[in-house]
Amino acid sequence: MKPQTFIPFVLICITAASAFSQGQTGEVLVTGKGIRITAGDLMPRTKAVYDSVASSIAAARSQILSAYLAEQLLDTEAKARGISVEALEREALAKVPDPSAEVIQQVYDANRAALGNKPLAEIRQLIVDYLRREPEQTALQEQIDSLQKKYSVTLLKNVNAADIRPTDAIAKFGERQITY
């Protein structure tokens, strides 16, 4: 694609994505010099990106709300117990056992070439960290799930609702309401 056509193409894509994220899917996306471009006029790859914008934004909003609630729950529990959030997280991580020597050896044997044929003693901790990663994430999620029950977290409104306003309460835990 020539530089003279690439820049307008990028501007069209950005404008199209912006228009879509604002809910203007049936309207003309861009006009210029008598040309009207709609979503149907976009090339297949660009249209796929355009079509995925709304779901990407919705997923991001949901993830941000989940992360915010988790942060607030951990902070509330840590304050109630008189410890730091880091200490609370360490409690959950301490419940995850190290993998057995046999499992470490199996992973090492299966991946020796990819690990540059380095001796096991040199990369053992790397393997242990890898094998602990998923169980640690599970332990942290279980801790959050437990705190959600303890503090009676309730989702009041869908964070992706079309009619949501900044003053709307979207979640509640204990007596606290979280607004959009």
Pairing of the two strands 169-173 and 154-155? antiparallel
Residue 121, CB half-sphere, CA atoms under 13 Å: how many? 0
Question: Could you tell me the pTM of the whole model?
Answer: 0.71
| Domain extent for 168 | 63-179
pLDDT digits (tens, 9 = 90+) for 53-63: 989 999 999 99
3-state secondary structure of 154: strand
> Can you give the pLDDT at residue 88?
97
Distances (CA, A) of 154 to 64, 75, 147, 175: 16, 17, 12, 11
Q: Measured between alpha carbons, how far is 20 from 83 in angstroms, rounded to an integer?
A: 45
| Position 57 in a domain | no
Amino acid at 143: Q
pLDDT digits (tens, 9 = 90+) for 12-41: 544 545 544 444 445 788 888 888 998 888
Q: Is the pLDDT of residue 89 over 70?
A: yes
Query: What's the total number of domains in the chain?
Result: 1
